[in-house]
Structure 1
Amino acid sequence: MKTARLSIITLDVPVILFLCISNYNLNRKNHSGSLFIPCSEIMKKSTLSLIRNASLSLLTLFLVQNVNAQVGAPAGGPILETAPKGNSKISGIVLDSAAAKGVEFASIALFSVEDNKAIDGTTADETGRFSITKVAPGNYKLLVSFIGFKDKSIDNIKIEKGRDIDLGSVQLASTVQNLQEVTITGEKSLIEEKVDRLVFNAEKDITSKGGDAADLLRKVPMLSVDLDGNVSLRGSSNIRVLINNKPSTIIASNVADALKQIPADMIKTVEVITSPSAKYDAEGSGGIINIVTKKNNLQGLTLNIDSGVGNRGTNLGLNGSYRKGKMGFTLGGFGRAFYNKATSSLDQTTFSEGSSFLTKQTSDAKDRGLFGQYSLGWDYDLGKNQALSAGLRYGTRNFIQKQNLTINQFENDVLDLTSQRKVNRKDLSGTVDFNIDYIRTFKPQQEWSISTLYSRTGLTNNFNTDLLTESNAVASTLKNENKNRNSEFTIQTDYQTPIGKNQLIEFGAKGIFRTVDSDFRYLTSTESGDFILSPANPSGVLNYSQNVAAGYVSYTLTTKNKYTFKAGTRYEFTGITADLGEEGAVSIPNYGNLVPSINVSKSISGSTTLKAAYNRRIQRPGIQQLNPNVNLSNPQSISTGNPALSPELTDNFEIAMSTNIKKTYLNISAFARQTNNSITQVRNAVDTLQGAIVTTFDNIGKQRAYGMNVFANVYLTPKWTVNGSLDILHSYLEGQTTSLEGTSVTASNSGFNYGGRLMSQVTLRQGWGVQAFGFYRGKEIQLQGTRTGFYMYSLGFKKDLPNKKGSIGFAAENFMTKGVKFTSDLTSPQFNQVSQTQLYNRNFKITFNYAIGKMSFDAPKKRTKSVNNTDVIGGGEQK
């Protein structure tokens, strides 16, 4: 097991010892051992918050046994004496004498003065209030205790028949014991295996400080992230990405850009849900990625500063939190600026009636980006079993590219035209999310919740192209203005309840009301410098409305022989209306889908788990696939969307095994999937523009994939870990493309893809740490060709500041080369295309983190659930 070092500040050492001793006494009396917890486990959980969580149910019994010994109870005597019952009540409130607030879950033991034995006991509620009922007449004393406080004894309590006693406030004084560093083994594993997901604990990454979520996701098993930040799971980019179980319209429009808004060092875990249960939306044929950010249950005021400076990027983050009593606020802001450059080349040949047209392009570009997100959160505990929360988030992304483009065109190998162009692209957006969530807990695992979310994004994708003369003067300018709006309102309700001790049933309903609008036009300059609508280039609108109604039921069964079954089904009905303005409506039929799922896991030993799963998923097109705006920034390589796209349907199968072999964690999984009506990129020659190719999206037909993933994490020493994974994928795609004569022909492509990653981390003395990371993604199979793979590597150091108030670090990425080059090689009856891109991503950065403020520990609250739209495809490369 790996070893962690923690500084325990507010820990009462005698209480830890008494937990061990009392637990031993309990075990000596209870031969079944059902209440026995080894002392090593108690010591292992000896931080204040862990003891509160893990030991509350046994704390009263432990306390009473301990105080029996303190007041002279006979050794080996019973924990509680049988006492006559009455109708009186003893009540009061336990307060922290320093903070004048309630001490949650304090333990109260009632003793009979006559024989000095404990006869009853209870624990305080979340406000510190307590009551002991059915007390018979007599003389008593009360002992109040809680970890981190001195015991308080209240003597001379006389109960008369029918009389209640209110003790008022009982003040406990804190006991602060400053300890040296304590070595605790058995910390949370890097990877956790659950019945329907794999959990990657991401809190210890060094090199990602100053980076974003895309940097971190490259290290997660089964995930691949390309240089643009586009994410794929087991070779499929049709996935859903959630942030704290919440969707956002910016995620729906472009996953890659959304990930750039999330700082890597604010991520706690990444959940890879390869086989989503019926509770999740049916969207996302490849699966779901849920990014969970760091949270706390502390009282007080804090401010955390994160910053980093590098030759390719700079970031600054400020995050604060304030909590007092039942109410809490969080305020956060994060901004990241990056600056990069790249060169590219394109050799493209098109064929037409015995002639060939060759286009040779070269370009150099400077990319500038500013990404940020700002959030305000609020939560309030309405009562012991109810909670209300709300959140407001604003996200922004501003991407600007300046490109110098040279185009040489040949007809039958004879130079026909040379042009120089300056292209300026602006990709801007602003997103507002607002949610209100409520949850009511009736008893453990029985709860009802209602969640709402309103999200709106404004997108601007503009460019202007200056056509230059031989003297580099501007001969003419072409502008494309493309404004998009994406808004949605979601309401859902969920209910779950246990059936007996080993069953759980869940059901719920959900409605999503989504609108997507796009307004685009082309402008061309006149001799006077004014701009008019371009008569040769398209203008238009898209009005797209999508409403989804869904209901689900899910059932979980855990058997005595350690099988867990989770089965369910979900029905979704999708209604769509779309029109292109004056051009009329687009015919897209409504559709309903029944999507079953089943997950089975079996624990065959204390360290080995087997899993098998099947589920059906649907994938709706996203705004980037639907938008009919024709992008002519490069006249020889044109792109446009397809508003008539239909959804795709995928069947997924998976088997997996996870085990611990001495100091090694091993996870092996194999999978297969078949997709019908698959949405993918298709390229065809343009009849009206010599030598040009247009890229769009289409429902091509079939896609089949199968493969396996192997992940291992090895503890070489308590302070040195190595982990890595190997991915193998075989893909087969079949669809329709266009022949040289312009007719539809069947095309297919297949092949293997290999990838992997390796990471090693060493914890050194005096707060020093070092981490190395390497990543490789192999050749990607596309319908009309292949795209070569790429690699990345990094090395980072970190030094904790005194008292662990912060840290300073240094990291280098791709430091032995200038950057990464990758090639796309595509072919069809109409064209051959080879493109190369060189990205200069060598990066050196210094990171700094510092925490201001002080928080006191508090018991965890029941948090509200949030809307989870696992819906629509994101932007970027598809498959």
Structure 2
Amino acid sequence: MKMTKILLAITIVLTSLLSPAFAQFPVTGGAAKPKALPGTAGDQTPKGNSKITGTVTDSASSKAIEFVSIALYNKASGQAVDGTVADEKGKFALTKIVAGDYKVLVSFIGYGNKTLDNIKLDKGQELDLGVISLASNTKTLNEVTVTGQAALIEEKVDRLVYNAEKDIAAKGGDATDILRKVPLLTVDLDGNVSLRGSQNIRVLINNKPSTIIANSVADALKQIPADQIKSVEVITSPSAKYDAEGSGGIINIITKKNSLQGLNLNIDTGVGNRGSMLSLNGGYRKGKAGFTIGGFGRGIYNTVTKTALEQTSTVENITTITRQTGDGSSHGLFGNYNLGFDYDLAKNQSITAGVKYGVRNFNSQQDLITRLMKTGSSDVVSSRNVDAKNLSGTVDVNLDYLHTFKPQQEWSMSTLYSRNDLTNDFDADLLNGGKELTSRQRNLNKSINQEFTFQTDYQTPIKKNQLLEFGGKGIFREVTSAYSFLIAEPTGDFRPERDQPAGDLTYHQNIAAGYTSYTYTTKKRYTIKGGLRYEHTFIDASTNEGTVGVGNYGVLVPSVNASKTFKGTTVKLAYNRRIQRPGLQQLNPNFNSANPQNITIGNPELRPELTNNFELGLSKNIKKTFVNATFFGRVTNNAISQVRQPSDTLAGAIVTTFENIGKQHAYGTNLFANVAATSKINVGIFANVFYTTLTGQTIGQNGQSQEINNNGFNVSGGIFSQATFKNGWGAQAFGFMQGNQVQLQGNQGGFGFYTLGVKKEFNNKKGSVGLAAENFLSKRYNIHTELTSIQFNQVNDVYLYNRGFRLTFTYKIGKMTMDAPKKKAKSVNNDDVKSDGSGGQQSGGGAPAGGGSAPR
């Protein structure tokens, strides 16, 4: 069968690299096969009519071992004569062998080699070696070193993969620390992720969505431990199999899994000047059933921020100059816990179930001193001490089923229930110039985001070079948000503020979707993948003031991806249309005035935005260097944009909300190169350059809407290097620089980030100790932002004190044996909600990825 042949080829490639038994079986053209072996069609040695057979099993479990390598040697000369690979039942056969004296070497990754000597084969004899038992040998795994470009960066037909498990400086960090190092992405110092200048991306975890992602990507990433991330996949041109959401692309974070038999427990801990962590992850697998359990906790502290703001605004011919300074700090606890189960119902059927719980307790404190200078009035100096709480608890429960009929033909059903309870409150003490308490304010905002998803998919091959996929999906989502603004005297109870009444938002969003996709590959290595997806969205939204006028809508999303490989160069062309629905923070009408000079309020009447994406990608391996260049264009109309204007009631305040008024056009290139300087040293460099044009509207001096424009270049880039040395030592360095970012009403200043880490492994790689440092050469970093408008000008400086050091320790407990992995049930993947309140601001760029053909 085709799939079996592919697996056999992969196995031979690995064994040829790792086992001396196959040192004489060269690998060519990415597929492994014996080259001109005696007794084969590629060699002139006479063929015989004898045969050797046998079966290979695990010495502990007596189960068959799939795809074991069998090498036949001439006993006198020691030369390899023939070779083969056992099938899925552990059986093998060597045929057409000339009579003589031989020895057989049996080997497989994770097991000790076994040699059978003194094999005398007569003419025409069929010799059965019987059952050959191999004993587990974990040292074989520990001594494996994988080199080459795939160790860090892999380009696949449908995505570009960054293998994060190679990151030795990640211990003690979270997913944000990993994503900062992915050349395809940009992560600012607040943890907001962007791809090619757009924050309109979907972030998945193991191909699954989560309600916590829908609320805030930056906060969600803090709950994922860095050392549990295996790889990060970036898909810039998703196929019809993916949800239509995410105009910028899709990021899929793959966590570490294993298919080993037995019991294991991994302990990871770290302590630093700005954070500490503890992680326990274990698994048990016996026969057809497997269980996993894990827990991760991280605390952050000593996070200091200083701000300086100067702002000029004009309302009704009265000019107000605002000068504000702030001193802030934050601390928090983040946790992530999971329990998983999988079971093989039959050889071709499996179920997977899991429960995950994430918790975030983030608290921040800021002392603000504000001076207001208004035309015709005396200066007013006031102070404001703010304590803010950002708390959440998220639970995800999934149950999935997969039935495989034959290679590439399968049917799956997936279900997911997800719920996120979010609290976003603040308390503020207002003081006069004499530092006397004059009044108090309190903002309460409780939100619940829950959804249930059912999905079914079917795929089947058509002939040998075609694949047909189709499926359907239903998402039932409910968002509720209760908000109130309270005031009080220096003493006494709080009471509602009449100018800002309490309210409730109820937002029902149901989505029905169906898709079909077709892939065709020619003999000359052309691959074309086309698909159509239709999604219809039903919305029922209301506040305490009545129904919100958001209607139902449908969208047809086409996608076309084509690739061709010739002379070592891969060329990719892609087009797709994407939809971007507003996220909870953009819909939430809560009046957030933690800083009264920068007030944010959501808009529950936002409509989705549509984006057309175009892409041309080139990649090539030049000796030890992998080079990738992508040229792209992105056109978005009806874009969700941030709109800032002076407050009518609060002097010197700027109110930010969201409207469907924008146009965003971006054109640019992403360049990336990775050099394997030696088998133990990799160096990478990347650069992202694109030109963006933004168009929107604001309120002019006459109170009428006026069009505004802004444009310019966005540039970012970086370099990274990693090296391994003798005796378990390793080192890694990374540096990144982001230039100014163009926004609709101004420019946000750039920033830099760099890390250096070393690690020492011990006790046969069961344990390790590491030391990592970040931004250690500078005391602080300044982000300088200038916003301009017809009615106001604002200059904002944020000083971040993010010098950090951390010491980490890892240890593995338990004994595991290799068990060939089986395909597990697929999972639901909701990539369909715009995250936090970014409004699609331009925030850097990323390197390219291929066309999209990954499941969901």
Per the normalisation by structure 2, the TM-score is 0.86
Aligned to 2:188: 226
Aligned residue for 1:776? 737
**Aligned residue number for residue 452 of structure 1:** 415
Structure having greater relative contact order (Cα 8 Å, sep ≥ 6): 2
Between the aligned residues of both structures, percent identity stands at 57
- Once residues 617 and 592 of structure 1 are traced to their aligned partners in structure 2, the CA distance between those partners, rounded to angstroms, is 12
Q: Which amino acid is the alignment partner of residue 835 of structure 1?
A: N
Task: Determine the structure 2 residue equivalent to 1:13.
Answer: none
CA distance in 2 between partners of 1:845 and 1:866 (Å): 36
Post-superposition offset of 1:295: 1.1
Per-residue Cα deviation, 1:131-169 (whole angstroms, up to 9, x for no partner)? 99xxxxxxxxxx99875476999xxxxxxxxxxxxx9x9
Please tell me whether residue 241 in structure 1 is matched to residue 191 in structure 2. no
Q: Which one of 836, 840, 849 corresponds to residue 797 of structure 2?
A: 836
Q: 1:633 to 1:183 in 2, by over 3 A?
A: closer
Cα displacement (A) at 1:250: 0.2
> Could you say if the C-alpha distance between residues 66 and 368 of structure 1 is closer, same or farther in structure 2, counting changes exceeding 3 Å?
farther
Q: In 2, Cα distance between the equivalents of 1:39 and 1:654?
A: 36
Verify the 8 A CA contact 1:618 1:647 in the aligned structure 2. Answer: yes
Select the residue among 439, 452, 456 that pairs with 1:493. Answer: 456
Equivalent of residue 441 in structure 1, options 389, 399, 404: 404
Q: Aligned runs of 1:115-130 on 2, under 5 Å? A: none
Match of 1:477 in 2: 440
Contact 2:213/2:220 (<8 A) preserved: yes
Deviations, residues 533-566 of structure 1 (Å, cap 9, x unaligned): 2223231010000011000000111111111111
Match of residue 525 from structure 2: 562
Question: What residue number does 2:101 align with?
Answer: none
SS of aligned partner of 1:804: coil
| Partner-residue secondary structure (3-state), 1:677 | strand
**1:187 shift after superposition:** 6.7
8 Å CA contact 1:297–1:860 kept in 2: the answer is yes
Q: Are 2:275 and 1:313 equivalent residues in the alignment? A: yes
Q: Choose 257-266 or 568-577, whichever is displaced more.
A: 257-266
Answer with 697-706 or 587-596: which moved more: 697-706
Larger Rg: 1
Unaligned runs of 5+ in 2: 1-7, 22-26, 72-83, 94-103, 118-127, 842-856
Indicate the residue corresponding to 1:588 in structure 2: 550
- 2:255: which partner in 1? 293
Amino acid of the structure 1 residue aligned with 2:47: G
Distance 1:151 1:125, change over 3 A: farther
Match of 2:75 in 1: none
Name 2:17's counterpart in structure 1.
44
In the alignment, the residues of structure 2 paired with residue 838 and residue 487 of structure 1 have an alpha-carbon distance, to the nearest angstrom, of 37
Shift, 1:41, TM fit = 6.5
Please, which of 646, 650, 675 is the counterpart of residue 689 of structure 1? Answer: 650
CA distance in 2, matches of 1:97, 1:384: 22
Task: Pick from 554, 563, 584 the counterpart of residue 601 of structure 1.
Answer: 563
User: Does the CA-based 8 Å contact 2:485-2:496 persist in structure 1?
Assistant: yes
* Contact 1:256 1:876 (C-alpha < 8 Å) held by counterparts: no
State the match for 1:194 in structure 2: 156
SS of 1:219's equivalent in the other structure is: coil
Q: Paired residue for 1:760, among 716, 721, 725?
A: 721
* Aligned pairs for 1:120-159 within 5 A: 147=108, 148=111
SS in 1 for 2:247: coil
Counterpart CA distance in 2 for 1:45 and 1:187 is 17
Amino acid of the residue matched to residue 795 of structure 1? L
Residue 540 of structure 1 is matched in structure 2 by 503
Aligned residues: 786
The Cα shift of 1:122 comes to 11
Per-residue deviation, residues 254-301 of structure 1 (Å, max 9, x unmatched): 000011111112111111100000000000000000111111110111
Indicate whether 1:265 and 2:236 are aligned.
no
CA distance in 1, matches of 2:241, 2:677: 40
| Number of the residue aligned with 1:23 | none
Q: Does 1:701 align with 2:662?
A: yes
Specify the alignment match of 2:709 in structure 1.
748
Task: Tell me, yes or no, if the aligned pair for 1:195 and 1:599 is still in contact at 8 Å.
Answer: no
Query: Are 1:538 and 1:630, in contact at CA under 8 Å, matched by a contact in 2?
Result: no
- Report the equivalent of 2:514: 551
1:16 is matched with which residue? none
Q: Cα distance, 1:186 vs. partner? A: 4.4
Q: Give 3-state SS (helix, strand or coil) of 2:825's partner.
A: coil
Write out aligned runs for 1:599-638 (5 A): 599-605=561-567, 607-638=568-599
Q: What SS does the aligned partner of 1:700 have?
A: strand
In 1, the alpha carbon distance for the partners of 2:10 and 2:300 equals 52
Letter in 1 for 2:411: W
Counterpart in 1 of 2:48?
A: 77
Q: Which amino acid aligns with 2:627?
A: L
Could you say what secondary structure the match of 1:538 adopts?
Answer: coil
Question: Is the CA contact (8 Å cut-off) linking 1:241 and 1:255 kept in structure 2?
Answer: yes
Taking structure 1 as reference, are residues 486 and 37 closer, same or farther at Cα in structure 2, changes over 3 Å only? closer
Name the residue aligned to 1:802: 763
Contact in 1 for aligned 2:559/2:577 (Cα 8 Å): yes
Q: Does the Cα contact within 8 Å between 2:15 and 2:69 map onto a contact in 1?
A: no
Q: After superposition, what is the alpha-carbon deviation per residue over 1:289-347, rounded to whole angstroms, capped at 9, x for unaligned?
A: 01111111101111111111111111111111111111111101111111201000111
Equivalent residue number for residue 729 of structure 1: 690
Which residue number corresponds to residue 327 of structure 1?
Answer: 289
Judging changes above 3 Å, is the alpha-carbon distance between structure 1 residues 525 and 195 closer, same or farther for their aligned structure 2 residues? same
Deviations 1:70-128 (A, max 9, x none): xxxx97214769xxxxxxxx9x998644345555568999xxxxxxxxxxx996767x8
Correspondence for 2:600: 639
Preserved contact between residue 151 and residue 166 of structure 2 (Cα < 8 Å): no
1:375-421 per-residue CA deviation (whole Å, 9 max, x = no partner) reads 00100011111110001000011110011111110013864311111
1:346 maps to which of 309, 332, 339 = 309
SS of residue in 2 equivalent to 1:651: strand
Q: 1:412 aligns with which of 362, 375, 380?
A: 375
Root mean square deviation, CA, Å: 3.3
**Partner Cα separation in structure 1 for residue 734 and residue 553 of structure 2:** 46
What is the CA-CA distance between 1:352 and the residue it aligns to? 2.4
- Find the aligned partners of 1:640 and 1:177 in 2 and give their Cα distance: 57
Deviation larger for 704-713 or 805-814: 805-814
Q: Following the alignment from structure 1 to structure 2, what is the Cα–Cα distance between the partners of residues 37 and 240?
A: 32
Q: In structure 2, how many angstroms separate the alpha carbons of the residues matched to 1:494 and 1:183?
A: 38
1:662 aligns with 2:619: no
1:795 is displaced (CA, Å) by 1.2
Quick one: distance in 2 between partners of 1:843 and 1:681?
A: 33
Counterpart selection for 1:284 from 246, 249, 259: 246
Distance 1:257 1:443 in 2: 42
Cα distance 1:41–1:177, how it changes in 2: closer, same or farther (>3 A)? closer
Q: 1:426 to 1:715 in 2, by over 3 A?
A: same
Instruction: Give distance in 2, aligned partners of 1:574 and 1:391.
Output: 28
Equivalent position of 1:679 in the other structure = 640
Tell me, yes or no, if structure 1 residue 400 matches structure 2 residue 363: yes
Instruction: Report what 2:613 is aligned to.
Output: 652
SS class of match (1:188): helix
Segment drifting more, 215-224 vs 587-596: 215-224
Distance (whole Å) between structure 1 residues aligned to residue 590 and residue 10 of structure 2: 65
Tell me which residue corresponds to 1:426.
Answer: 389
Q: Is residue 537 of structure 2 the alignment partner of residue 574 of structure 1?
A: yes
Structure-2 separation of matches of 1:740 and 1:405: 29
> Secondary structure at the residue paired with 2:177?
helix
Sort the Cα spacing of 1:724 and 1:591 in 2 relative to 1 into closer, same or farther, 3 A. same
Taking a change above 3 Å as real, the CA distance of residues 801 and 524 of structure 1, as seen in their structure-2 partners, is same
Superposition TM-score, scaled by structure 1 size: 0.84
- Change in 2 beyond 3 A, CA 1:638/1:560: same
- C-alpha distance 528-726 of structure 1, shift in aligned 2 (>3 A): closer
Quote the offset at 1:208 in angstroms: 2.2
> 3-state DSSP class of the match of 1:703?
strand
Task: Tell me the amino acid that sits aligned with residue 277 of structure 1.
Answer: S
Distance 1:224 1:441 in 2: 39
